[in-house]
């Protein structure tokens, strides 16, 4: 991942109390304009996002960042329980309101939950603050910009996660396996 392919974004967002906050995002140049447009529209609609901080503030610890309900993009790491570089490691995926929109998968008969403290938010039939579903503005904006949503995956669910499709990644980085 060449460093020159990364961009620093400064975005405004609002929390549940309607307060305007400043956020920072490191992302791939390929999605920078999309993210700026998405976050500008979320801000204009008073869409609540608790935090948008660089994962550096969490020593690049994905679990700590998610437990703090932090929304982020670039973090060089591997896909959970694999040895494949995550699209976050390429700056091509965005997390939004992570605590309330967890990642879950069953591995060897055991439920994996990330963040581990998000058990109360696994039941997606319940209503709660920061919840992302297919009726949500955040979902609609990311989909309109060509992202895929982890909440639609069949073998695992990643309700916080938006990423560009694999075919585009292969075009951008043909040497990745």
Tens digit of each residue's pLDDT (9 = 90 or more) over 42-59: 999 999 999 999 999 999
| Burial zone of 75 (CB within 10 Å; 0-12 exposed, 13-18 middle, 19+ buried) | buried
Nearest-angstrom CA–CA distance, 42 and 63 = 25
Q: Tokens 């995550």 map to which residue?
A: 86
- Mean pLDDT value of segment 25-52: 98
Nearest-angstrom CA–CA distance, 40 and 96 = 14
- The answer to whether the pTM exceeds 0.85 is yes
169 versus 85: which is more confidently predicted?
A: 169
Q: What is the pLDDT of residue 154?
A: 96
C-alpha dist (Å) from residue 52 to 15, 33, 65, 112: 10, 17, 10, 25
Six token digits for residue 168: 């585009």
Indicate the pLDDT class of residue 177, thresholds 50, 70 and 90.
low
* CA atoms in the 13 A half-sphere facing the CB of 167: 3
């Amino acid at each position: 991942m060449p460093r020159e392919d990364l961009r620093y974004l400064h975005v405004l967002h609002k929390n549940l109390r309607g307060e305007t906050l400043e956020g920072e995002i490191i992302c791939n140049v390929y999605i920078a304009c999309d993210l700026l447009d998405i976050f500008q529209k979320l801000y204009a609609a008073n869409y609540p996002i608790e935090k948008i901080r660089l994962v550096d503030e969490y020593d690049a610890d994905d679990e700590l960042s998610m437990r703090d309900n932090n929304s982020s993009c670039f973090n060089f790491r591997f896909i959970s329980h694999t040895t494949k570089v995550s699209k976050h490691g390429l700056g091509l995926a965005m997390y939004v309101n992570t605590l309330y929109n967890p990642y879950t998968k069953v591995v060897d008969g055991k439920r994996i939950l990330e963040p581990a403290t998000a058990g109360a938010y696994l039941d997606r039939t319940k209503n709660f603050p920061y919840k992302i579903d297919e009726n949500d503005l955040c979902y609609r904006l990311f989909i309109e910009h060509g992202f895929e949503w982890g909440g639609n995956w069949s073998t695992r669910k990643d309700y916080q996660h938006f990423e560009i499709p694999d075919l585009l990644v292969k075009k951008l980085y043909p040497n990745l396996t």
